[in-house]
Structure 1
Amino acid sequence: MAEDAENIYWGDCHVHCAVSYGYGSLERAFRLGREHLDFCSVVGHATWHDMPTDRERYAFIIDYHREGFARLKRNWRSMQETVARFNQPGRFVTFLSYEWHSRAYGDHNIYYLEDDGPIIEQDSLPELDAALAGRETMIIPHHIGYGKGYRGVNWEVFDARRSPVVEIFSGHGCSERDGGPYPIYHTMGPRSHYGTAANGLALGKRFGFVAGTDHHAGYPGHYGEGRTAVYAPALTRRAIWDALRARRCYAVTGDKIRLGFHINDAPMGSEITARGPRLIRVEVQGCDALARIEIVKNNRPWRRVFGPPPVAADALPDPVRAKIRLEWGWGDPEGSVRWDGEVTLTEGEILSVEPLFRGDPVLAPKADGGGAVEEDAPPHGIVGQDARRVAWFSHTRRNPHPYLAGTSGLILDVCAPHAAALDFHVNGRRFQIKLADLLEGSRSEFMRGWLSEAILVHRAVPSVQWETSFVFEDETPEQETDFYYVRVAQENNQWAWASPIWVGAG
């Protein structure tokens, strides 16, 4: 897929570690991030001008925030040096950032284009903006769905000049709209309409969509809790920065869904005028079967396209292109399980491999306030790969709740004849699964019998179910400026949201 012939880059610009409060070193976080992302920002918790003062109710919160803020100040110079050292144009891009907390204005991350930005403490968002004048910065609100007064967004003071994009999905949940997927169940409170992106757009605010994990154990891109896709001409700090400022970006929950969205050839994030028909073009390459794609106009689904139903294996082309998801974990051990796995495709070709790796599920610090020293070794990695074979290692823990996954995995994009098979060698066990069988349904293998760790080889999803494009024409303006965006849902409940396009009647 080409979005104006630019490249697509993947990142997480909202992850925390022990540089303030959280777990794991800054260096470790960057090393983990560059294994499966293109850009990253590890954010230091820095300041909270209206922190509660009632120690009877909030002593724990007060103490770990104050210690975290003090720790970041002590580490700020070394953090700047580390961010600069890990920034490698063409391979991995990093940004310096810190978090400014506020109940009144909402929590915001401050991002610097350069490596030498200061920590600035101010008592209001306009004062913070003024203090940053003269520097190239972005001030991006996150977990906006909590709403005004509860560390969510305050739309009354929102300014797109300082905040060109808004984080609509993270480990906290989804703030796109009321009734949307992934409601918020964090102790900070529920999602309310005021704080949603839909309400901000209805109020006339203009911003793009991004997602970030808000992970507190130093694992950028922690699978399933938010990533950002950016269309940019090159993998450099300036190119990624300019693309975010131009809203040439979109949010995903976890799967790297490729999404193109144009109106009259203008890409996502654009502001255009159109006197005649509006030609709306959408292109999607998913990572699982597509459930539905919606073109949203002025906050209402204007067109809804459903994904095709499963196709019988004998009706598919042979050889077939398909995506096969490997997922491992489960079991009931108290500690972690190490996985050493290898899969070989007997015929055909493995076109690409997408990691689905998770860190420890930490959204907020524990009683120690963070800073725990972790092992330096990475928890996951691909150790060998060619056109027929992939080898990996991984560590998983049991699922924290029946509805919360602690698994990790890979997606294999393959082109192979139906007669091909996948030969597995996992933790000392050998087994084979035929592609023809996977086109009918998933298969699982338990490593040590019932209640032990297991690997699930999901149903092979042929390309006809995860790839589509279409064009619609809209001839009916509804207001002086209409806004449109696209949301994509896969059958596995992974989502993508394209940044809006605003169209004036001309």
Structure 2
Amino acid sequence: MKLAICSVGVVLLLAGCSPVEDPTLYPKYDPDKAVQPPVKAAVAENPDRHLLWGDVHIHTSFSTDAYVMGVRGLPDDAYRFAKGGEIAHAAEYGIRISRPLDFAAVTDHSEFLGVVRGMQPDLPLSDRSLRTRLIEDGPISNTLAWIRTMVGFDPKVGQVEGGKESMADAWQEIIASAERNYEPGTFTTFIGYEWSSMPDKNNLHRNVLYRGSMVPDAPFSSTISQNPKDLWDELEKQREQGMDNLAIPHNGNVSGGLMYGDKTFDGSAMDAAYAERRMRNEPLSEIFQVKGTSETHPALSPDDPFADFEIFDTILSAKIRKSEPKGGYARDALRLGIEMSHSENFNPYKFGVIGSTDSHNASSPVEEDNYHGKLPLLDGTAGIRLGKTILLPEKYRISRRWGAAGLAAVWATANTRESIFDAMRRKETYASSGPRIVVRFFGGWNYPSDLIDRAERITLAEASGVPMGGELPPATDAAPSFAVWAVKDPESGNLDRIQIIKGWVDEQGQSHERIYDVALSDGRVKDPTSGRVPEVGNTVDAKTASYTNTIGDVQLSAVWKDPDFRPEQTAFYYARVIEIPTPRWSTYDAAKLGEEPMDPVSIQERAVTSAIWYQAAEEPGEGVGN
């Protein structure tokens, strides 16, 4: 018979109730014994560019939702974690990432920034420590009251004593921490914040990053305006004053279809000026993070067998509702963009992609076998995440469908703010769901079939083409070639395949998409009759949360020419690299607790590159929206 808790705050010795987690699974954090960040060598300037990994979407206790959910970490903790050092989780156990990142940004919500922390309100957590509530007690006493406090909290700065001062102090600490932790050549920090527009609970959030140390006296807040155009007004004014910046939309998957719609925020029609402003201010979109993926959706890409990956489409409001897929996913946005290029002569959706976590634990929880959640009261331990030691109503058990994701991959000449920012601006970036898969992707004309085997392949690829994020000039009759190569993450699964996803617009202005498998592991080939590719297999052992790299390949590559190219059709192309199946975080958690794993037991992690665009010659909108 196990010690069990069957109701909030009541401990009973009864069989069949939810067991309390073993506290030895979560050794208490000891700062004197904490692992220090490793010493890293600085990288030198490289014109062929370095691959740098980062997370530019990290929250600390300065964010209202993080603080109310128990987080007490500060920006210095976030940067210590990103550098590979150990920090305290909100439940007081130690957490660290297995390999340091190259860059990071703390992007706390600008709305009421630091106000709740400054107030130190008498919330339910004050009764007992979060560690006691999560690990030692089991179910959390007053959990629902706590969550209602978080959901309903709407402080008015003018009514909160010291609110404005708390906001100013928090912003200055975010700036100071970024400056303290910036180590050019070794580790890069960006000063930033999150603008959190939520009309009718639909997510229209943007993360704002600054290229240097010149930043405004205060971040722009959605309490001033929820309209993205007003944010752009502010960012454009700041750039005129020497504060270079950009904004990165995220979580289009829960935007209610508004993130990438065919109308502006106020419902008016888009025009060329709007498209140009959107792309100048928002050259990137975040498509992988804890709250689901925003690449594509099965309803939008029914012929894509890999579209159903870490889909999260629940909008939290007074009534739980599903988010509209149309207008919420990047591939659909790219298709809408080329349709508008065809019909309207402008393209508001010529953006690149990255991943980042949206962690609220002052950390980057991207590793499936080392996952520690997003919001402690909802997913701070394995038992809570799997619904074994906390009996939350179904409405609040959303963390089971959150994922351990994602990371931003940037091809930059140096590990500095300027170089990484400029790479983001030119969209030479890609998104990973977590693993550090190396991917290069170029498009050009008349690439030799052995390009990838040549020592000077980067120089040759750029001489007659462009890297990911670029645009090919109009063609006469030759089809473009694409060179793509990928190398597995040495600490993750082998590679299953490389795909190139093409979207194009026909003469009637209708867009289409097609997926080409351009490189397959294990010598597999398509069935000549059905066109299907045999599955790579699955070595995952659910009971032990393990797998073997006996299938798949360490690296894959291809030089591929579009067999269906028509020079009069505007198109985009991007690469997607897919791993063999590996255990999901929930499978690792289940093995830790000795429980049966939930579905899906395994997932196929991936990397998705920024697109390369081809603009047809007869379309006068060529180049608009760059």
CA contact (8 A) 1:7 1:233 kept: yes
CA contact (8 A) 1:169 1:211 kept: yes
CA contact (8 A) 1:295 1:487 kept: yes
Give the Cα separation in 2 of the matches to 1:185 and 1:247.
27
Name which of 401, 420, 442 aligns with 1:262.
442
Question: Greater CA deviation, 224-233 or 152-161?
Answer: 152-161
Paired residue type of 1:196? Y
Give the Cα separation in 2 of the matches to 1:481 and 1:194.
20
Q: Find the counterpart in structure 2 of residue 354 from structure 1.
A: none
TM-score (norm 2): 0.53
How much has 1:4 moved relative to structure 2? Answer: 7.3
How much has 1:202 moved relative to structure 2? Answer: 1.4
Give the Cα separation in 2 of the matches to 1:80 and 1:209.
26
CA contact (8 A) 2:54 2:102 kept: yes
User: How many equivalent pairs are there?
Assistant: 358
Name which of 37, 52, 59 aligns with 2:101.
37
CA contact (8 A) 1:11 1:221 kept: no
Give the Cα separation in 2 of the matches to 1:74 and 1:504.
48
Give 1:459-478 correspondences, 5 Å limit: 459-461=548-550, 465-474=553-562, 476-477=565-566
Q: Find the counterpart in structure 1 of residue 151 from structure 2.
A: 61
Name which of 473, 483, 488 aligns with 1:273.
473
Give the Cα separation in 1 of the matches to 2:156 and 2:59.
16
Q: Find the counterpart in structure 2 of residue 307 from structure 1.
A: 520
Q: Deviations over 1:228-271 (max 9, x none)?
A: 10001100000000000000000000000111111113100001
Higher strand share: 1
Change (3 A) 1:470 1:143: same
Q: Deviations over 1:138-180 (max 9, x none)?
A: 1111001223577x55563461110000011110111111222
In the alignment, is residue 142 of structure 1 matched against residue 344 of structure 2? no
Q: Find the counterpart in structure 2 of residue 202 from structure 1.
A: 335
In the alignment, is residue 120 of structure 1 matched against residue 220 of structure 2? yes
In the alignment, is residue 284 of structure 1 matched against residue 403 of structure 2? no
Give 1:221-232 correspondences, 5 Å limit: 222-223=366-367, 224-232=404-412
Q: Find the counterpart in structure 2 of residue 249 from structure 1.
A: 429
Give the Cα separation in 2 of the matches to 1:210 and 1:193.
20
Name which of 126, 129, 144 aligns with 2:232.
129
Q: Find the counterpart in structure 1 of residue 189 from structure 2.
A: 94
Change (3 A) 1:308 1:486: same
Q: Find the counterpart in structure 2 of residue 160 from structure 1.
A: 279
Question: Greater CA deviation, 205-214 or 269-278?
Answer: 269-278
Paired residue type of 1:119? P
Name which of 607, 616, 624 aligns with 1:505.
616
Give the Cα separation in 2 of the matches to 1:149 and 1:101.
16
Q: What is the root-mean-square deviation of aligned Cα atoms in Å?
A: 3.2
SS of match in other structure, 1:239 = helix
Change (3 A) 1:194 1:149: closer
Question: Greater CA deviation, 182-191 or 83-92?
Answer: 182-191
Paired residue type of 2:247? I
Q: Deviations over 1:371-423 (max 9, x none)?
A: xxxxxxxxxxxxxxxxxxxxxxxxxxxxxxxxxxxxxxxxxxxxxxxxxxxxx
Q: Find the counterpart in structure 1 of residue 360 from structure 2.
A: 216
Question: Greater CA deviation, 79-88 or 190-199?
Answer: 190-199
Change (3 A) 1:478 1:274: closer
SS of match in other structure, 1:465 = coil
Give the Cα separation in 1 of the matches to 2:547 and 2:322.
33
**Which of 1 and 2 has higher RCO (CA within 8 Å, sep 6+)?**
1
Q: Find the counterpart in structure 2 of residue 483 from structure 1.
A: 572
Q: Find the counterpart in structure 2 of residue 111 from structure 1.
A: 209
How much has 1:95 moved relative to structure 2? Answer: 0.7
Give the Cα separation in 2 of the matches to 1:218 and 1:74.
18
CA contact (8 A) 1:283 1:470 kept: yes
SS of match in other structure, 2:431 = strand
Q: Deviations over 1:260-318 (max 9, x none)?
A: 1111131000012141220111101123222232111106234114632499xxxxxxx
TM-score (norm 1): 0.64
SS of match in other structure, 1:46 = coil
How many percent identity over aligned positions?
26
Paired residue type of 1:167? E
SS of match in other structure, 2:484 = strand
Paired residue type of 1:271? E
Name which of 165, 178, 192 aligns with 1:83.
178
SS of match in other structure, 2:557 = strand
Give the Cα separation in 2 of the matches to 1:491 and 1:58.
41
Q: Find the counterpart in structure 2 of residue 177 from structure 1.
A: 296
Change (3 A) 1:65 1:474: farther
Give the Cα separation in 2 of the matches to 1:486 and 1:169.
15
Return 5+ residue gaps in structure 2 as ranges.
1-45, 85-99, 113-146, 265-274, 299-306, 338-348, 368-403, 445-464, 504-511, 525-537, 582-603, 618-626
In the alignment, is residue 27 of structure 1 matched against residue 59 of structure 2? no
Q: Find the counterpart in structure 2 of residue 423 from structure 1.
A: none
How much has 1:99 moved relative to structure 2? Answer: 1.2
Give the Cα separation in 2 of the matches to 1:12 and 1:212.
5
Return 5+ residue gaps in structure 1 as ranges.
49-56, 312-439, 445-450
CA contact (8 A) 2:106 2:174 kept: no
Change (3 A) 1:113 1:247: same
How much has 1:26 moved relative to structure 2? Answer: 1.2
How much has 1:203 moved relative to structure 2? Answer: 1.7
SS of match in other structure, 2:263 = helix
> Computing the radius of gyration over CA atoms, which structure comes out larger, 1 or 2?
2
CA contact (8 A) 1:103 1:148 kept: no
Change (3 A) 1:65 1:164: farther
